[in-house]
Amino acid sequence: MEVPNKFRIEDRVAKVALVFSYVLLLLGGLFGFLQVLSRTPGMPKLETAQLYYEGLTLHGVALAILWTAFFIVALAVFVITRELNINMNGPLLRAGCILAVVGSLMGAVAILSGQATVLYTFYPPLQASPLFFIALAIILIGTWFIGAAVLEAIWRWKKLNPGKEVPLATYGVFTTIAIWLLATPPLAYAVLFRSLPMSLFNAPVDVLEWRLWFWFFGHPLVYFWLVPAVTIWYTILPRVLGTEVFSKTAAKAAFMLYLIASVPVGLHHQFVDPGVHPVYKYLHTVLTYLVAVPSFITAFNVIATLEKAGRMRGGKGLFGWITALPWGKDPVFTGITFAIILFGIAGFSGVVNASFNVNYNVHNTAWVVGHFHLTVGGGVTLTFIATSFLLVPLLFGRDYVAKKLLIAVPTLWFVGQLIFGIGYHVAGLLHAPRRTFTAEAGYLNDPNLLNTLHLVGQWTPWLQLGAIGGVIFALGGALFLLLTFVSIFKGPPFRMDGAALQISPTPEKATFFDRLGLLVGIALVIIIIAYSLPAIEIYTRGLSPAPPYWPTGAAAG
């Protein structure tokens, strides 16, 4: 007799979020493929300049904000229900999911109709349709509903289980949601009280004030992506290898540091903004280096876990455990470990970005594109892709078709991202610009630039190398989406009950790390210290609002 699913509503939300995330990955990935060829000298021009910038906006919004957010929603709902064995607040979940989907569709309409060519950072005074900013506000409200549902479930579980520690995967989900809820209110202020009035009434906006509150959100967004990936490294990866994480305590310490240090770091995106005192920029530099500490802890913990698993499989000697691991055999293991390697490489370029003086050399260059793709495209997206090989069968009750082809997905993605990352990091060091439609920008036809120390003539081979990498990982992404969509609708039945999974090690007695309210309070104090000083400087000096500007050159409004 079949046991009724007690998580029917939650699973429905998770399925919608998961499928919608794959649609966004397809849409954003398609425009990324078109861009990387169209902007590269000597490659096919598949876009006009107008379509390039519209597609660049959609690529950024769909992938950097929405694909990751919807996948994280599905993952969070699955982890909370299966690990805590507790129902979530259905109305909050459904309302949040509906708002997030509706807001995303409204935003896509605004971008594709050419009314929001403002890139994913939508810096003022760039003007866009009110529809775009209303869509952003609706998405934010939807995510807050979902966040409230997650926190309410954890709070209720703690009341039912006094003295028990929060299980590790749930701890990672809590950290993720807490970072999101701490980071997004200033963005909501900037959108509702600055960008939307600009769009509706041509109200001028102080650019520096707006950028301060955008980057309050913008860099923690990185950790909103990363912490779920780290949660998977600490929980799913050991399960795949038949072992436990090397140190659960170190894992929780890393999550705690991500929580208290990942938000007050945004000024390292404003090193070239002249209106912020250098002392405050140095403060955010120090905090940015602090948030590198949990990444180093994670690197040690994950490698130690891999070594333990390798030695369990008979690996001998100093490095024998590495070859004893199931490289090329298990697509989940292979995908997650490739993702960790890519993120490790990106970590080094991230330290360069965070350096107050060295950052000047790479700011707004292709270096940033290379770093960004190795982090969100490599470390995070590849982890989510590999996890899909487990999550899709468990949620949809259908196994993957053509399973022998699965191993090709992480392999193509890893090789392509690596080549793309090398090409764009080097092109950035040669000062190739970040967002510009390079092929038609005129740089490459100006002998004064080609034959001088501007290094323009050296960009081409590195941009072409990046394009080759982009095509390779696009092939991996296309194969992943093809196999996933076919499996969801036509895959063979898969009967394993997700409720029977043990995602994390068995919970023990609660420790300091389980004082979640205290940790959030510490995070708030550091945020207030780090942001009150530059905010006071900007507001006491007085705002200098600038009139809006339509990117197409047409008159605002």
pLDDT tens-digit series, residues 205-241? 999 999 999 999 999 999 999 999 999 999 999 999 9
Q: What is the percentage of the chain residues whose pLDDT exceeds 90? A: 79
Q: Please list the active-site residues.
A: 219, 223, 371-373, 434-435
Q: What is the pLDDT of residue 500?
A: 59
Does the structure show a pLDDT above 90 at 314? yes
- Backbone dihedral angles phi then psi of residue 272, each to the nearest 5 degrees: -90, 0
pLDDT band at 497; cut points 50, 70, 90: low
**Number of Cβ atoms within 10 Å of the Cβ of 352:** 16
Distance from the Cα of residue 229 to its chain's centroid:
9
In angstroms, the CA 68 to CA 364 distance is 23
Tokens for 269?
A: 């995106």
In angstroms, the CA 177 to CA 143 distance is 9
The answer to whether 24 touches 62, Cβ cutoff 8 Å, is yes
In angstroms, the CA 174 to CA 332 distance is 24
In angstroms, the CA 548 to CA 553 distance is 11
Q: What is the pLDDT of residue 379?
A: 94
Q: What is the pLDDT of residue 279?
A: 93
The answer to whether 400 touches 487, Cβ cutoff 8 Å, is yes
Tokens for 151?
A: 């926190």
pLDDT band at 356; cut points 50, 70, 90: confident
* Strand partners for 398: 493
pLDDT band at 437; cut points 50, 70, 90: confident
Q: What is the pLDDT of residue 3?
A: 63
Does the structure show a pLDDT above 80 at 129? yes
pLDDT band at 298; cut points 50, 70, 90: very high
Q: What is the pLDDT of residue 260?
A: 94
The CATH class given to the 226-258+273-436+446-494 domain equals: mainly alpha
pLDDT band at 134; cut points 50, 70, 90: very high
Does the structure show a pLDDT above 70 at 1? no
Does the structure show a pLDDT above 90 at 450? no
In angstroms, the CA 54 to CA 351 distance is 31
Q: What is the pLDDT of residue 453?
A: 61
Mean predicted lDDT score pLDDT of the chain: 92
Got the DSSP string for 398-431?
BPPSSGGGTTHHHHHHHHHHHHHHHHHHHHHHTT
Q: What is the pLDDT of residues 363-395, one digit of tens each?
A: 889 999 999 999 999 999 999 999 999 999 999
Tokens for 427?
A: 């092109």
pLDDT band at 443; cut points 50, 70, 90: confident
Q: What is the pLDDT of residue 556?
A: 43
The one-letter amino acid code at 493 reads P
Tokens for 482?
A: 């093809």
- Across 441-465, b (16+ Cβ under 10 Å) vs e yields eebbeeeeeeeeeeebeebbebbbb
Each domain of the chain, given as residue ranges in start order, spans 226-258+273-436+446-494
3-state secondary structure at position 204: coil
In angstroms, the CA 539 to CA 188 distance is 19
Q: Which of 175-189, 278-292, 466-480, 496-510 has the lowest mean pLDDT?
A: 496-510
**Number of Cβ atoms within 10 Å of the Cβ of 502:** 12
pLDDT band at 454; cut points 50, 70, 90: low
In angstroms, the CA 522 to CA 474 distance is 42
pLDDT band at 452; cut points 50, 70, 90: low
Q: Which helix (H) or strand (E) holds 353?
A: helix 331-354
The answer to whether 340 touches 233, Cβ cutoff 8 Å, is yes
Q: Would you tell me the crossing angle of helices 90-112 and 130-160 to the nearest 10 degrees?
A: 160
3-state secondary structure at position 503: coil
Read off the DSSP letter of residue 89.
-
Q: Which helix (H) or strand (E) holds 17?
A: helix 8-38
The one-letter amino acid code at 518 reads L
Does the structure show a pLDDT above 60 at 49? yes
pLDDT band at 451; cut points 50, 70, 90: low
What does the pLDDT average to over 484-494? 95
Q: What is the pLDDT of residue 555?
A: 41
Does the structure show a pLDDT above 60 at 554? no
State how far the alpha carbon of 433 is from the alpha carbons of 17, 125, 365, 502, in Å.
35, 21, 4, 47
What does the pLDDT average to over 430-459? 78
Q: What is the pLDDT of residues 66-123, one digit of tens each?
A: 999 999 999 999 999 999 999 999 999 999 999 999 999 999 999 999 999 998 899 9
In angstroms, the CA 231 to CA 430 distance is 36
Q: What is the pLDDT of residues 323-342, one digit of tens each?
A: 999 999 999 999 999 999 99
What does the pLDDT average to over 398-405? 95
Read off the DSSP letter of residue 276.
S
The one-letter amino acid code at 154 reads I
Does the structure show a pLDDT above 70 at 470? yes
Does the structure show a pLDDT above 50 at 553? no
Tokens for 67?
A: 């694909």
- Comparing C-alpha atoms, which of 104, 198, 89 is closest to residue 145? 89
Q: Which of 189-203, 274-288, 344-358 has the lowest mean pLDDT?
A: 344-358
* Strand partners for 365: 433
pLDDT band at 18; cut points 50, 70, 90: very high
